[in-house]
Amino acid sequence: MTEDELATRLESLELRLMHQDAAIEELTRTVLQQEQLIATQVVAIERLEAMLRTLSDTNTANPGEEPPPPHY
């Protein structure tokens, strides 16, 4: 291989590496954003589950304590 061919190959490899570094940085930012979104959604889901538990606890009475239907 000539010196020019080696220089061309080296330049090509450097360009590929530069593009790969940029792609990795972009993917890292995307993953971090998704982690933050997931954490926010987990908190919201836990809050909704707690609300549902509270609602179901207050709406669930013993069947013997319920008044008879109006047609009795």
Residue 34 lies in a domain: yes
pLDDT for the residue 64: 63
Residue 63 lies in a domain: no
Instruction: Put residue 53 in one of left, alpha, beta given phi > 0 → left and psi -120 to 50 → alpha.
Output: alpha
In the chain, the number of structural domains is 1
Residue 65 lies in a domain: no
Q: What is the DSSP letter of 18?
A: H
Residue 68 lies in a domain: no
Mean pLDDT by 10 residues, the chain (72 residues): 94 98 98 98 97 83 69 70
Q: What is the pTM of this model?
A: 0.64
Residue 18 lies in a domain: yes
Residue 50 lies in a domain: yes
Q: What is the DSSP letter of 70?
A: T
pLDDT for the residue 15: 98
Q: How far is CA 36 from CA 25, 40, 45, 62, 67, in A?
A: 17, 6, 14, 42, 49
For residue 39, the enclosing domain spans: 3-56
Residue 28 lies in a domain: yes
Residue 71 in 3-state DSSP?
coil
